Structure 1
Amino acid sequence: MKNTISQRVADFLKNYPPFSFLNLREINTLSEEVSIIYKEKDSIVFEENEGAHDSFYVIHKGAVALKKGSNNEIINISDEGDLIGLRPLITHENYKMEARAHEESILYAIPSDLFKPYALKNKDVANFLIESFASNTENPYSESHRGKLYGEIVNEEILGSSQKLLDFQPVKYSKKIITCTPSTPANSIAEMMTKKNVGAILVVENELPIGIVTDKDLRNKIVTGAFPITAQAASIMNSPVITYPKKMTITQAQMAMIKSNISYLCLTKDGTPNTKAVGILSKHDVMVAIGNNPAVLIKAIKRSKKSKEIKPIRQNIMRLLQGYIDQNIPMTLTTKIITELNDVCIQQVIKLSLKKMKTSPPVAFSWLALGSQGRSEQLLHTDQDNALVYEDVAEEKATETKNYFLELATHVNKGLFEIGYDYCPAEMMASNPNWCLSVSEWKKKVLHWITNTGKNEVLLSFIFFDYSLTYGDSKIVNELSDYIFETIKANPVFYLHLVSGALQSPSPTGFFRQFLVEQDGANKDTFNIKNRALMPLADAARLLILYHSVKSISNTAERFEKLAELEPNNRELYLSCAYSYKALLKFRTKQGLLHNDSGQYIALDSLTKLEKIKLKNTFKTIKDLQELITVRFNASNIL
């Protein structure tokens, strides 16, 4: 007779990770050993420093508060489908937090020893458990926890990713294989190839590939008269056939074709002629795929004669980005490559714009990328944020020089619009006279921002301090950077205003751990990942890197990694912030590619439970980081 209770447990578990990664048979087996526990409101599940239980828990109904310290500060509130008490599965340490029913709750107790084998053989289960365990620690992405128990699984995954980094893109092959037998005559082969519009036919025997006949073979062997048109495939085929596994990368395919001087590869189940063919790969397939190779894209951009020619290339860049996201290429590398490609696009637009000018630039100048583009974090198509700075000139030439660079900037901004960058709604672009200034004028503006710290000044300084040189003279930028740091040092009160701005970003979640969504407007009921999650981290990284007077690092994750070097006592937190920021940026990028927008506003009902858990796991670093800033700058007195 069917156990209806265990079946109900199974029906619940299969909808939530990590159980959703198991097959139904495994879930049913596990469910038969699950204990069902009822907890009244405020009753203890486990206490801080208590020895580990022999089970971890899944919340079926209700909510459980995780508390820490003598003041019982609530660290987290877990609800339906969440895991708590993973410590017995991951380590042999006592519990680091108290778990108390926040409301009347029903828990499923999963025996750790019973579940552990599933985690050891299923890397998706293992990786999820590690992240979930880390999210219930003080530091959700702590280096000391990542891969601690399941190191061999995580390392395999990392090794696999590293292998992909050698050539990035998997090859796309044709699964429509045209075959013939060794006795098929050449004229029949030619008819089949013409009808199917293919350049090669596979010769098989007992369903195994033994050779291949290409259109080149027909030209060289049949048309020349070397063999009669009725010659059998066995006499004109290339044999033995060169076979490879289907999981090839583009570079591997190129190398294989060059090595054997062939234009077609036969892909089999195990990569040998001893298994059935699963696809055919042609040199044309490889060349099409190479169209999205970064080096090829850069060459195409630099060959462009008009700005409009760059727009379709940027579409290829987006396809490349999608491929990197799909293959789980590390965000650090993805960001660097896409930023480099975007910079080359902008540089080419500037070069084309200079050709439209009647004369060469009167003095040296620099084109600056601002905001997210300046931080090398603008992966999706968004609006423009840029500025232009040029060398000082004599007063009698000031107007003429400014007009020249305003005209140039107008051409550049128009060109950027043509390739897909929308105009900035706030007009923070170099074609705006307020953002096209000489070195001295920029210094005066920066001094005004730092010494007149109103809300607008602080906001503008935030945008401007995230700049990077896209084109032009680096000496000008270095001079301006030096001035900024000297002026901030001379006006330390400015830090307090930066602190105030960094701490005013709204919290990602409410008291009951629910996402805080937009309350009105066109994006009502959506989650603003930019303002509520990315900006608090970016603002804090900017503040702390300015505090240490570090130049030439504008990327948020790289700033945190540098801070980890500068402050060893806070290394763990800063590295967690870097990790969280990259995770959030990847999440926003995936959403933007999915919905063909900026990815800023996310419809929560479109996310899976796993996606919501991973998103929330990144939020805890924000709270810890803001607490560090509050203490360091005594910010409680200014908020």
Structure 2
Amino acid sequence: MNNSIAQRIADFLKHYEPFLYLDSEAIYLIATQVKVLYLEKNQILFQINDKTHDSFYVVNTGEIGLNITSDSDDVLIDKCDDGDIIGLRPFFAKDNYLMTAKAREESILYAIPIEVFKPYVSQNQEVLNFLLESFASNTRNPHNTENKGKLISENVIYDDQSTEIQYYQPIKYTKKPITSKANHIIKDIAQKMVDHKIGSIIVEKSNIPIGIITDKDLRSKIATGLFPIEVEAKQIMSSPVITVAENLSIAEAQIMMLKYNVGHLCVTVDGTFHSEIKGIISEHDIVVAQANNPGVLIKQCKRATNSKDLRIIREKLTDLIQQSLDKNIPINHLCSITGEINTAISKRAIELAIEKIGTPPPTRFSWMAMGSQGRKEQLLMTDQDNFLLFEDVPDKDYDKVKSYFLQLAERVTKTLNKIGYEYCPANMMASNPQWCKSLTDWKKQFNLWINAPGDNGILMCSIFFDYDLVYGDEFLVEKLTQNIFDNTHKNELFYAYLGTDAIKSPPPLGFFKQFIVENDGENKDSFDIKARALMPMIDAGRLLALNKELRNVNNTYLRFKKLAEIEPQNEDLYLACADAFLAILTFRTKEGLQNGNSGRYLNLKELSKLDKVKLKNTFSPIQGIQELIKTRFQLTYFT
């Protein structure tokens, strides 16, 4: 017979995240362990520096305020009401609370034991993602009539600006972590973890990571009796280890953990699990590193209900980019984070479009970003380039299916335009019937471009070969990618055409080392940094990445870094190209932010002498990489 109180609690919880991701039986079992708390107005639930509780809390009725101390004053940063979660810190950190939670009116809360809820977190990625995002950011404020729907923290002006871009700073990690061997006994490993007060231990062979054992493994595999405590590490370790390079930003670390559903990242010399261990990053490191987290933008994307909400998010992202550049945050970190937020904005635009249509997609599909967004280099509000790929369907259904996706694409591109991403002047968008096709039709299209290149085919290759999945089915994308590599493999004619296109713009300096500028038009005497400096780097990186069949590496900087790894004889040149590309991109981004445009044309008169020297220095790698391309693809003879 059901407990009536537990049933009432379960009936309440099932309407709110993250409980709505669980089935009714699980919610009821959780509800049987819940304690009901009553707080009078101004009563404190916990204070700054209090030890963390063994429960987190869900507001049933009333209102709880969250405060921090700034310049000796209490600053309200959030209000929580029905269904909001409070006190998630015990999930992710062992240290004390960083906020004070106080009832702003009579309130009833449900206290949910951490240990009761943890198994549902480990078994359900949606639950974990929600908790991480909630912990990293603030909830919406439904009570602020003047700023309805906004975050409290958006309405508070902080005197201390040192944390505003902390999200992009490289994360500090534990160097020389404690390790073990694959044949070591779990009992000894557990004792070592206790002795060193750590929550994980890396299993290594010749200082190469081959696995990891965490508190979670000990709980789920040893404490449950699944394995005896005398087994060797290799029997319960998680493998492979998720590895990263050092200088990872806080945001990138959090995204990696969310992506792979792990709580630890192993830092290695080159970021792969084939190189030596340098350190380890834990969720606790992320928690410690961030007081306020711009990951709130991702959360806002998920909650946006219209294009106006998304436009505000994109404008705030522009502010973050400007602040980051002002504080010399590495632009490669900035590209990575901006790329994720741009993707989240586009993804939400697609979800809203599907909701407005009212019927689900008739078959699997993939929405693909191209160009700068596909390369995760879209720091400025440039025009949109995208295409849509849908699963093969019977001929009799083709027109109907395509009609649905064209309707969807029309809504999405319209929303993106309202956000600030202008329509592509050449109409290279999924709303164009030419760029909305089945997998088979797209294969035919790419095969035509590759095997009968010509000028138009090469132009399309330079745009469509830099694509990134925004929303939908990854399997379809893999099929298309494999088809591309099958057709480009040892295709000398294709590489000759693509190579010739990649070197069409020589280094932009005249005989006397002066900048080559525009001779006429509205941009007369300006330097076209996109056509004369950025595109030669992008085209070269794309060509060489295709030739080496590099998969899932679309970003120009990362392409050159990867090429440096696999071609040590050309390492210096590739690394110089990587650095030069970032410098050129920085020049363009600053120009665009300053003038509110694409940043394509630089007014050289506004550059300092030092900046002119820096810009000229980036042109030397262009010459070097173009010489390499000429030699590798024998373009002297082809042209």
TM range (shorter): 0.5 to 0.7
Give the aligned residue type for 1:285. Answer: I
Corresponding residue number in structure 2 for 1:258 = 98
- The one-character-per-residue Cα deviations of 1:263-313 (angstroms, maximum 9, x if unpaired) are xxxxxxxxxxxxxxxxxx999434997898421111112111112221112
Give the aligned residue type for 2:157. Answer: D
Corresponding residue number in structure 1 for 2:560 = 560
Pick 1 or 2: higher relative contact order, CA cutoff 8 A, min separation 6: 1
Find out whether 1:530 has 2:530 as its counterpart. yes
- The one-character-per-residue Cα deviations of 1:69-109 (angstroms, maximum 9, x if unpaired) are xxxxxxxxxxxxxxxxxxxxxxxxxxxxxxxxxxxxxxxxx
| Shift, 1:258, TM fit | 2.9
Give the aligned residue type for 1:349. Answer: A
Corresponding residue number in structure 2 for 1:382 = 382
SS at match of 2:420: coil
Corresponding residue number in structure 1 for 2:9 = none
Find out whether 1:324 has 2:324 as its counterpart. yes
When the two structures are superposed, what TM-score results if normalisation uses the length of structure 1?
0.56
Corresponding residue number in structure 2 for 1:630 = 630
SS at match of 2:321: helix
Is contact 2:458–2:497 with CA below 8 Å preserved after alignment?
yes
Quick one: distance in 1 between partners of 2:481 and 2:367?
Answer: 14
Distance 1:288 1:418, change over 3 A: farther
Quick one: distance in 2 between partners of 1:548 and 1:393?
Answer: 33
Between 283-292 and 486-495, report the one with greater CA deviation.
283-292
Corresponding residue number in structure 1 for 2:544 = 544
| Shift, 1:526, TM fit | 0.7
| Shift, 1:638, TM fit | 2.0
Match of 1:285 among 139, 157, 167: 157
SS at match of 2:295: helix
Quick one: distance in 2 between partners of 1:567 and 1:461?
Answer: 24
Quick one: distance in 2 between partners of 1:616 and 1:338?
Answer: 27
Give the aligned residue type for 1:258. Answer: L
SS at match of 1:597: coil
| Shift, 1:521, TM fit | 2.0
Give the aligned residue type for 2:618. Answer: T
Find out whether 1:432 has 2:272 as its counterpart. no
Give the aligned residue type for 1:454. Answer: G
SS at match of 2:360: coil
Quick one: distance in 2 between partners of 1:259 and 1:343?
Answer: 32
SS at match of 1:535: helix
When the two structures are superposed, what TM-score results if normalisation uses the length of structure 2?
0.56
Quick one: distance in 1 between partners of 2:594 and 2:96?
Answer: 34
SS at match of 1:388: strand
Quick one: distance in 1 between partners of 2:585 and 2:469?
Answer: 22
Quick one: distance in 2 between partners of 1:371 and 1:583?
Answer: 19
Which sections of structure 1, spanning at least 5 residues, go unmatched? 1-198, 203-211, 217-254, 263-280
| Shift, 1:552, TM fit | 1.0
Give the aligned residue type for 2:98. Answer: I
- The one-character-per-residue Cα deviations of 1:186-214 (angstroms, maximum 9, x if unpaired) are xxxxxxxxxxxxx9999xxxxxxxxx688
Corresponding residue number in structure 1 for 2:345 = 345
SS at match of 2:590: helix
Quick one: distance in 2 between partners of 1:291 and 1:384?
Answer: 29
Quick one: distance in 2 between partners of 1:310 and 1:215?
Answer: 27
- The one-character-per-residue Cα deviations of 1:154-187 (angstroms, maximum 9, x if unpaired) are xxxxxxxxxxxxxxxxxxxxxxxxxxxxxxxxxx
Distance 1:200 1:388, change over 3 A: closer
Give the aligned residue type for 1:461. Answer: C
Alignment of 1:592-611 (within 5 A): 592-611=592-611
Is contact 1:529–1:600 with CA below 8 Å preserved after alignment?
yes
Find out whether 1:400 has 2:400 as its counterpart. yes
Quick one: distance in 1 between partners of 2:617 and 2:384?
Answer: 31
Distance 1:201 1:495, change over 3 A: closer
Is contact 1:311–1:420 with CA below 8 Å preserved after alignment?
yes
Distance 1:407 1:259, change over 3 A: closer
SS at match of 2:489: helix
Corresponding residue number in structure 2 for 1:294 = 294
Quick one: distance in 1 between partners of 2:566 and 2:623?
Answer: 21
Quick one: distance in 1 between partners of 2:581 and 2:164?
Answer: 31
SS at match of 1:398: helix
Quick one: distance in 2 between partners of 1:553 and 1:407?
Answer: 31
Is contact 2:506–2:623 with CA below 8 Å preserved after alignment?
no
Corresponding residue number in structure 2 for 1:619 = 619
Quick one: distance in 1 between partners of 2:561 and 2:157?
Answer: 40
Quick one: distance in 2 between partners of 1:563 and 1:557?
Answer: 10
Quick one: distance in 1 between partners of 2:602 and 2:74?
Answer: 51
Distance 1:302 1:287, change over 3 A: farther
Quick one: distance in 1 between partners of 2:601 and 2:306?
Answer: 34
Corresponding residue number in structure 1 for 2:469 = 469
Is contact 2:375–2:555 with CA below 8 Å preserved after alignment?
yes
- The one-character-per-residue Cα deviations of 1:16-53 (angstroms, maximum 9, x if unpaired) are xxxxxxxxxxxxxxxxxxxxxxxxxxxxxxxxxxxxxx
Give the aligned residue type for 1:348. Answer: R
Find out whether 1:422 has 2:262 as its counterpart. no
Give the aligned residue type for 2:384. Answer: Q
| Shift, 1:507, TM fit | 2.9
| Shift, 1:420, TM fit | 0.5
SS at match of 2:320: helix
Corresponding residue number in structure 2 for 1:310 = 310
SS at match of 1:258: coil
Quick one: distance in 2 between partners of 1:599 and 1:410?
Answer: 28
Is contact 1:506–1:531 with CA below 8 Å preserved after alignment?
no
| Shift, 1:519, TM fit | 1.5
Give the aligned residue type for 1:545. Answer: A
Q: Percent identity?
A: 46
Quick one: distance in 2 between partners of 1:598 and 1:351?
Answer: 28
Distance 1:554 1:215, change over 3 A: closer
Distance 1:444 1:531, change over 3 A: same
- The one-character-per-residue Cα deviations of 1:517-537 (angstroms, maximum 9, x if unpaired) are 112222121101011001111
Is contact 2:451–2:487 with CA below 8 Å preserved after alignment?
no
SS at match of 1:361: coil
SS at match of 2:469: strand
Quick one: distance in 1 between partners of 2:499 and 2:74?
Answer: 69
Is contact 1:537–1:577 with CA below 8 Å preserved after alignment?
yes
Quick one: distance in 1 between partners of 2:351 and 2:164?
Answer: 23
Is contact 1:291–1:297 with CA below 8 Å preserved after alignment?
no
SS at match of 2:98: helix
Distance 1:490 1:628, change over 3 A: closer
- The one-character-per-residue Cα deviations of 1:484-542 (angstroms, maximum 9, x if unpaired) are 01011263311100111001024311111111011222212110101100111111111
Corresponding residue number in structure 2 for 1:72 = none
SS at match of 2:470: strand
Quick one: distance in 2 between partners of 1:310 and 1:299?
Answer: 11
Distance 1:347 1:282, change over 3 A: closer
Quick one: distance in 2 between partners of 1:491 and 1:624?
Answer: 24
SS at match of 1:285: coil
Distance 1:530 1:256, change over 3 A: farther
Is contact 1:294–1:341 with CA below 8 Å preserved after alignment?
no
Distance 1:352 1:283, change over 3 A: closer
Quick one: distance in 2 between partners of 1:620 and 1:258?
Answer: 50
Give the aligned residue type for 1:637. Answer: Y
Is contact 2:367–2:471 with CA below 8 Å preserved after alignment?
yes
Quick one: distance in 1 between partners of 2:472 and 2:634?
Answer: 41
Is contact 2:499–2:543 with CA below 8 Å preserved after alignment?
yes
Is contact 1:294–1:337 with CA below 8 Å preserved after alignment?
no
Corresponding residue number in structure 2 for 1:234 = none
| Shift, 1:332, TM fit | 1.4
| Shift, 1:256, TM fit | 11
Give the aligned residue type for 2:316. Answer: N
Quick one: distance in 1 between partners of 2:404 and 2:300?
Answer: 29
Distance 1:396 1:260, change over 3 A: closer
Give the aligned residue type for 1:344. Answer: A
Alignment of 1:34-53 (within 5 A): none
Is contact 2:379–2:589 with CA below 8 Å preserved after alignment?
yes
Corresponding residue number in structure 2 for 1:249 = none
